[in-house]
Structures are given as structure tokens and as C-alpha cells.
């Protein structure tokens, strides 16, 4: 008898249902603002309506899943590692947008990711990242002729 298993409410699971419902609502609002097209058949609204309704239904189904304890037991996780990588990514975006150039941005991302995986040698990794960024920059801009963002460092080359 499976229904006798203890019910513990999985709040994270419930949040997934809410998130999906939110996504469905966004699609609904966006579709409501589209103009009707004069073409035969179905216009640009049909697919969003199908997808939105599907998501709403799935939100419900996921809620049921959460109530039944259908999600796997989660292990503890290292939030600091997560923040280090995402922080490195944010720093990369910041450096590139502020004109700092590709190579320093890559160095920071490399060093923070490495730190997230447990290395305690930030400065060394920053230097390795600089070298890696330099090599990748040369490879992309010179060999593959793909443009990468430039900063003071890149303009020296």
C-alpha cells in the first residue's frame, strides 16, 4: 500500500509548480497583447495558447508530484561553490561591458570556477586564467577570425 507512506510536504517541489504556473501566466499575458492576424488558419496566438495551457496543466501535475513526495531526496549542497561560479560569470559580464576586455574577464571566471572546485590558490589560478585567455584570444581572433571584445590588454597585441 503506497498511500500509507508518510506525507511530508516538499516545499521546493511546490515552488516548481508555482514557477511553471507563473511561466504559463506570462505567456498568457503576452499572447493577450498580440493582434489578430487576418490570415486563414491559426495565427501567432495558437501555439502560445497550447504551450501556456500545457504548462498550466503540468504545474498542477508537478504539484501533485510534490504532495506525493515524488521528488528525489536531495543531498546537501555547497551553496558557496554555486555562488562562486555564478559570481565569476557576473564578474565576466561586468568586465566585458565596462570595456575591460576578454582576457581579464576570462581569468576571473577561470579562477573563481577553480576555487569553487576546492582549489585554494586564487592568484596562481588568476595567472593561469590570463595565459589561457591569451591563448584562446589568439586562437579565435587570428586563426578563426572571430571577433572577441577588446580592452586595454588586447589592444596591445
Partner 1 sequence: MDTFLALMNGMAIAVQPHNLLFALIGVMLGTAVGVLPGIGPALTVALLLPVTYKLDPGGSLIMFAGIYYGGMYGGSTTAILINTPGESASMATALEGNKMAKAGRGGPALATAAIGSFVAGTFATIGLAFLAPWLVDIALKFGPEDYFALMCVAFVTVSATFGASPVRGLTSLFIGLALGLVGIDKLTGQARLTFGIPELLDGIEITTLAVGLFAIGEALYVAARRHLEEDKVEAIRGSLWMTAQDWKRSWAPWLRGTLFGFPIGALPAGGAEIPTFLSYSVEKRLTKHPEEFGRGAIEGVAGPEAANNASAAGTLVPLLTLGLPTSATAAMMLAGFQQYGFNPGPLLFAEKPELVWGLIASLFIANTMLLVLNLPLVGLWVRLLSIPRPWLYGGILVFAVTGTIAAKPSAVELTMLGAFGLLGFLMRRFDYPIAPVVVGLILGPIAEAQLRRALQISLGDPMVLVESPMSATLLAIAFVALVAPYALKGLRKMGATED
Nearer to partner 1 by C-beta: 6 or 76?
A: 76
Nearer to partner 1 by C-beta: 42 or 152?
A: 42
Q: Which residues have CB under 8 Å from 64's CB, separation 6+?
A: 70
31 and 48 in contact (C-beta within 8 Å)?
yes
Q: Which residues have CB under 8 Å from 52's CB, separation 6+?
A: 24, 27, 28, 31
Q: Minimum distance from CB of 60 to partner 1 (Å)?
A: 10
Q: Minimum distance from CB of 132 to partner 1 (Å)?
A: 6
Q: Minimum distance from CB of 119 to partner 1 (Å)?
A: 4
Nearer to partner 1 by C-beta: 8 or 77?
A: 77
* Cell numbers 565596462: residue: 98
Amino acid at each position: 500500500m503506497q498511500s500509507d507512506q508518510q506525507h511530508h510536504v516538499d516545499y521546493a517541489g511546490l515552488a516548481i509548480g508555482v514557477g511553471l504556473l507563473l511561466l504559463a501566466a506570462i505567456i498568457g499575458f503576452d499572447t493577450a497583447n498580440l493582434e489578430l492576424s487576418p490570415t486563414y488558419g491559426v495565427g501567432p496566438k495558437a501555439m502560445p495558447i497550447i504551450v501556456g495551457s500545457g504548462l498550466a496543466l503540468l504545474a498542477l501535475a508537478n504539484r501533485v508530484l510534490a504532495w506525493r513526495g515524488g521528488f528525489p531526496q536531495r543531498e546537501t549542497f555547497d551553496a558557496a561553490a554555486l555562488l562562486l561560479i555564478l559570481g565569476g560569470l557576473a564578474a565576466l559580464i561586468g568586465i566585458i561591458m565596462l570595456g575591460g576586455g576578454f582576457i581579464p574577464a576570462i581569468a576571473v571566471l577561470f579562477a573563481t570556477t577553480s576555487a569553487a572546485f576546492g582549489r585554494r590558490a586564487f592568484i596562481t589560478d588568476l595567472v593561469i586564467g590570463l595565459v589561457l585567455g591569451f591563448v584562446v584570444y589568439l586562437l579565435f581572433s587570428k586563426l578563426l577570425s572571430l571577433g572577441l571584445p577588446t580592452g586595454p590588454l588586447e589592444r596591445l597585441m
